[in-house]
């Protein structure tokens, strides 16, 4: 049985969802759908070399690598994370993301930058429980 799955997801800052945005519902739905599909793609890539289903219960830690050294509040990125986690659930990393199966996500900020202009690099670390 696997103990962890780790993968990185690049997110364009111009396409991310934050708690502070005031978007039209159509644009918000479009971005949510795009982020959810991105979550599916990157989670499936991480699971390809692994056999069997994903976790029944897991702890999720997400580490943000911003493109620069400006101060940012990672908690404002919960709408982006929710869409990416839903995509990971769709890909089979976790059976469901309800409170009985998912602990977290715990948010961390990396000391390193993403090295890419206008792109945040999110590292997802799923640990089975």
The whole-number average pLDDT for the span 6-26 is: 95
**pTM of the model as a whole:** 0.93
- The whole-angstrom distance between residue 99's C-alpha and the CA centroid of its chain comes to 17
CATH number of residue 85's parent domain:
3.30.1330
Model pLDDT, residue 47: 83
Residue 89 has pLDDT above 80, yes or no: yes
Nearest partner of 121 among 9, 6, 17, judged by Cα: 9
Mean pLDDT for all residues in the chain: 92
Residue 51 has pLDDT above 90, yes or no: no
% of residues, the chain, pLDDT over 70:
95
C-alpha span between 121 and 38 (Å, rounded)? 13
pLDDT band at 52 (very low <50, low <70, confident <90, very high): low
pLDDT band at 50 (very low <50, low <70, confident <90, very high): low
Q: 37 is in which domain, residue-wise? A: 4-128
Q: Are 128 and 52 in contact (CB under 8 A)?
A: no
> How many domains does the chain contain in total?
1
């Amino acid at each position: 049985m696997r103990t962890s799955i780790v993968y990185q997801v690049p997110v364009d800052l111009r396409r991310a969802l934050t708690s502070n945005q005031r978007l039209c519902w159509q644009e918000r739905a479009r971005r949510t759908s795009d982020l959810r599909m991105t979550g599916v793609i990157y989670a499936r890539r991480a699971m390809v070399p692994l056999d069997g289903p994903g976790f029944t219960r897991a702890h999720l830690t997400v580490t943000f690598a911003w493109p620069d050294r400006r101060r940012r509040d990672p908690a404002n990125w919960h709408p982006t994370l929710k869409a990416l986690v839903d995509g990971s659930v769709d890909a089979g990393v976790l059976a469901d993301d309800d409170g009985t199966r998912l602990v977290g996500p715990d948010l961390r900020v990396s000391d390193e930058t993403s090295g890419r202009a206008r792109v945040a690099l999110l590292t997802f670390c799923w640990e089975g429980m």
